[in-house]
Amino acid sequence: MMSALQTLVDNGLSDVALDAILADLFVSDSFEDDDDRRMCVALAWYRGNEGRADPDTCHVHRDNVIKVDCAKYLVLDDSEADSAFDDYLESMLDDEGMVPGADGPYFNREAWKKDASVDGRGVLSGEDGEEQEYDADGDWWYLYRTN
């Protein structure tokens, strides 16, 4: 899909028209696969918040991480973000010394995770600690800058 969009851009498609096509893609749900959808989410969010980027700058870097221009974003839906955040908190508990007393008999892992989650899922962003949101026609996606 990105190559087809880039062909349109190369043939004179305006920025406004490209943004409209990206928005229409979410309405029509005409994605080839989940990676394709995540690339469109990342590209649309980037164009709306960071600056101009052509479709040819957008590709899958690794699992759920999409590179747009020079930026890399972890792109997750709400349940995936919750799961990744829980995995992050579990890894902190499992890494010896990260959470003093976590290996003790009276340590309540679930209570600690609840307290630790007060700051939110922004910790999934290795770059700025921010969680960005994108509404793709009613489907909310969350982006975390990783570089």
Please report the pLDDT score of residue 97 as a whole number.
Answer: 77
CA proximity to 141, closest of 9, 41, 30: 41
pLDDT at 98: 85
The C-alpha angle with vertex 15 and arms to 138 and 66, in degrees rounded to 5, equals 55
Q: Please, which residues bridge with residue 68 across strands?
A: 58, 71
Each residue's pLDDT, cut to its tens digit, for the chain (147 residues) gives 888 898 988 999 899 999 999 999 989 888 889 999 999 999 999 999 999 899 999 999 999 999 999 999 999 999 999 999 999 999 988 887 788 888 888 889 899 999 988 889 999 998 999 999 999 999 999 999 999
Predicted confidence at residue 99, as pLDDT, reads 86
At 48, list the tokens: 């709306």
Strand pairing report for 58-62 and 139-145: unpaired
pLDDT at 29: 85
What residues does each domain of the chain span? 2-145
Residue 75 near residue 141 (C-beta atoms within 8 A): yes
List own/partner pairs for 20-26 with CB under 8 A and 24 or more apart.
22/47, 23/137, 25/1, 26/136, 26/137, 26/139
The one-letter amino acid at 23? A
